[in-house]
Amino acid sequence: MADLEVYKNLSPEKVERCMSVMQSGTQMIKLKRGTKGLVRLFYLDEHRTRLRWRPSRKSEKAKILIDSIYKVTEGRQSEIFHRQAEGNFDPSCCFTIYHGNHMESLDLITSNPEEARTWITGLKYLMAGISDEDSLAKRQRTHDQWVKQTFEEADKNGDGLLNIEEIHQLMHKLNVNLPRRKVRQMFQEADTDENQGTLTFEEFCVFYKMMSLRRDLYLLLLSYSDKKDHLTVEELAQFLKVEQKMTNVTTDYCIDIIRKFEVSEENKAKNVLGIEGFTNFMRSPACDIFNPLHHEVYQDMDQPLCNYYIASSHNTYLTGDQLLSQSKVDMYARVLQEGCRCVEVDCWDGPDGEPVVHHGYTLTSKILFRDVVETINKHAFVKNEFPVILSIENHCSVQQQRKIAQYLKGIFQDKLDLSSIDTGETKQLPSPQSLKGKILVKGKKLPYHLGDDAEEGEVSDEDSADEIEDECKFKLHYNNGTTEHQVESFIRKKLESLLKESQIRDKEDPDSFTVRALLKATHEGLNAHLKQHPEAKESGKKAHGRSLMTNFGKHKKTAKSRSKSYSTDDEEDAQQNPGKETGQLYRLGRRRKTMKLCRELSDLVVYTNSVAAQDIVDDGTTGNVLSFSETRAHQVVQQKSEQFMIYNQKQLTRIYPSAYRIDSSNFNPLPYWNAGCQLVALNYQSEGRMMQLNRAKFKTNGNCGYVLKPQQMCKGTFNPFSGDPLPANPKKQLILKVISGQQLPKPPDSMFGDRGEIIDPFVEVEIIGLPVDCSKDQTRVVDDNGFNPVWEETLTFTVHMPEIALVRFLVWDHDPIGRDFVGQRTVTFSSLVPGYRHVYLEGLTEASIFVHITINEIYGKWSPLILNPSYTILHFLGATKNRQLQGLKGLFNKNPRHNSSENTCHYIRKRSIGDKILRRTASAPAKGRKKSKMGFQEMVEMKDSVSEAARDQDGVLRRTTRSLQARPVSMPVDRSLLGALSLPVSETAEDTEGKENSQVQI
């Protein structure tokens, strides 16, 4: 964002001139791949938050949020522009907008250079204003925009006024189920101008505030204000100390809160905080569930690299699947600025001696290696200075390897110089602090026995490049002519069989990677490829064609017993008969694969030498990076978890997705983090549950890409599958009261959209960490209310290793045949802050849930019995033993119908007879009855519409029973709701802990 600094100081006259032109609209040509271009009117909306165009078949979806724009480039720089014939368009009239997670490009051509300059200047000014916003300003801006947008969308006839019928329709859209009489009453109170019967935007804001009055927050304010409708400075300080557990609360700090958040000038003058100001404060980032101190680097950064989890990307250059998607250099810029510190570069021989980056033996597009290095150099240290690891997958000839080394040294220059790094006498890896501003090249290194004078030599090619190269690829071969239909049909058949075999899916996002969606993408990608390369259609005219090899290997245990000699007959048979299914894995049983490596590239590898498992020699050296595919890593973690943890105390380990994940889906990173693996590489281009866990993991510690492992993983060892892995350490008890929800929308894939039924929400809370800690529980369902549902339920969890645990909040819409996903937020346990907090759902502007958090320390093995009387000795003994067994069996079970690695380690206790009899299809407590104290294992099946609960082989619903218990009460809202407002304000939450079990729950 450094290049945007210039645009912050534009003169007001120039800014307004740009904004006026952009809001009036400009006709431009929109270039699209494979078409001549479309003439559209592009304009900036009146709030200056969205770029829109018309006409468009997408209607309302034809927009780009300014927040989502990554960069704006001038001239003919994009891939689509490069494909156009030179001289067609004046470069000074061209510009490209890159936006979204996949770096999509919008390529535009104006009629004259002045218009292009106006748009480029205006867009960059808007982006610069957003780039340095603090969290409070951004929260207020997005709220204001949301209210304005809500009003405009409700104004069906566009007259700037809302009548009562439009208000009723809006209420349904917002999931509000109020009596029409009550709605009309609030409407009349807000309608104060001469034009009776309609609401202006200002009047709508009044109406919206009345509708949004938070009963829970009002009662909380009353309980600390001695039943007044405002808080004094002293009362606010008391609330912050007692409930929010804040220290060093000063009078000036409280006055500053009143000045920032209070709306009434009269209250400001009196230094008091009314209900509206109190609501603003409670919904601000100051009361977010995430510890604001963790937005900065706060951990010790002087320990060896192996003591940190490191945010890592797989196939960083790809924007989609592994076979047909586009490669873009901007993906490197995006992931680096998101905090990723290890990126992958697959290098292949390119034309004219220029190495290229792409996914080998596939139809993914190619980008120049030089451009990738320049992009990394520009963006590596924009947001943080901690080291970047460049994972080079080298498939190049020696000549082009020398070109790679030349570019690395010429572009990175002193960023590669590690000669001044002191590792001390212990020969341990350097620390992130000592490597600030440095780039580490991860790759092969020539063996020491060759001597320094050897210009090149043979090295093993047995790491991740080997798996990707042989498992899943298109291969060049000679044939008698392959038609487009044959190639497409073969791809379609192979993708479908692979997906069915591997059962790759994201459990919470059933529409992301379905067979149907992937086949559609394959079809479109193949068509685009054939349009760009029409010679591929001329079957028979050119013998040199592409076809998909059939050697998509199948992981079979019997393969290990095969001979190690390489069968050339098999390979010849495969090439001559590409359609023949031999049912065996060609690459297994061959000689160990080697490649030639040049000295120049080898010398750039210092602390990150890529090795295969069979190459490891325990000679005391440091600096090896062991690479495992997820399937091989499963076996190691399952069979030798403690030895693996000890290895990871001295060296780095990289885990990457299986080659079967041709859809770029992600595996569950948790088992590998639990074993101390540092570089767990995920496909950053694929949104879903696994990336959400990864994002939450690395958001802490200033999102710098390095998170310190627990000390128990750095020294000594323990069994991560044990029922009590750290018996000498205190455990943490999380008492989480789920109070209410705010502005929960309809599910994103709702069949009827905004016209659908008002949602019936419930909240599920999941703890994700060591197997013994993995558990989940949920609230009851609230009928017909997504706007302000109230649950007032307390969920309790015990966590053995909170340093690596994640807390995941999910909101679901209950349905008679299952449940629909509404939204989620995942936070590291260590970043939770106690007290009353809002949990904003990721990617949703206003949606949140309101909770109260208490964290206690528990000592001793039997503490759950004492704290939770409903635990019986028999239950406790049975549960721990069963959890341990389930952890060992379920975590790496290869049968996808059972607990595969994608099911984030839920261990199911033995079902009672009552459970077996009760076979409900719904995945939430039934509406209209008291909530059953049972959590349900999350299993979102790969469907287009609904999600179902997981069942075992007998078809019985699998669920985790939660013991009945008296819920702890968080002060003072519970008592306020019970009418006991006469309690002294000074009584703290701790004072009530001894009385919890006697409290009547509502």
Q: Is 696 left (phi over 0), alpha (psi -120 to 50) or beta?
A: alpha
**Contact (Cβ atoms closer than 8 angstroms) between residue 346 and residue 356:** no
CA nearest to 29, candidates 76, 68, 69: 76
Backbone angles phi, psi at 430, to 5 degrees: -70, 170
* Three-class secondary structure of residue 488 per DSSP: helix
**Contact (Cβ atoms closer than 8 angstroms) between residue 655 and residue 630:** yes
Question: CA 579, 582, 584 angle in degrees (round to 5)?
Answer: 130
Q: How far is CA 166 from CA 202, 217, 779, in A?
A: 16, 29, 33
Backbone angles phi, psi at 50, to 5 degrees: -140, 140
**Contact (Cβ atoms closer than 8 angstroms) between residue 778 and residue 925:** yes
Q: Give the C-alpha separation, 911 to 301, whole Å.
A: 47
Residue 831 has a CB neighbour count (10 Å cut-off) of 19
Burial class (CB in 10 A: 0-12, 13-18, 19+), 206: middle
Q: Is 800 a catalytic residue?
A: no
Q: Give the C-alpha separation, 813 to 762, whole Å.
A: 7
CA nearest to 628, candidates 602, 648, 603, 599: 648
Q: Give the C-alpha separation, 463 to 467, whole Å.
A: 7
Q: Give the C-alpha separation, 322 to 552, whole Å.
A: 13
Q: Is 314 a catalytic residue?
A: yes
- Of the candidates 99, 102, 230, 358, the residue annotated as catalytic is 358
Q: What is the DSSP letter of 986?
A: T
- Of the candidates 294, 314, 634, 852, the residue annotated as catalytic is 314
Say how many residues make up the chain: 1002
| Residue type present at position 379 | H
Radius of gyration of the chain (CA): 30
**Contact (Cβ atoms closer than 8 angstroms) between residue 776 and residue 767:** yes
| Residue type present at position 774 | C
**Contact (Cβ atoms closer than 8 angstroms) between residue 674 and residue 804:** yes
CA nearest to 962, candidates 938, 940, 936, 1000: 936
Q: Give the C-alpha separation, 1001 to 969, whole Å.
A: 9
**Contact (Cβ atoms closer than 8 angstroms) between residue 212 and residue 848:** no
664: CB partners within 8 A, 6+ apart: 315, 318, 320, 321, 322, 325, 657, 683, 685, 686
Q: What is the DSSP letter of 443?
A: B
Burial class (CB in 10 A: 0-12, 13-18, 19+), 587: middle
Query: Alpha carbon 639 to chain centroid distance?
Result: 30
Residues serving a catalytic function are 314, 358
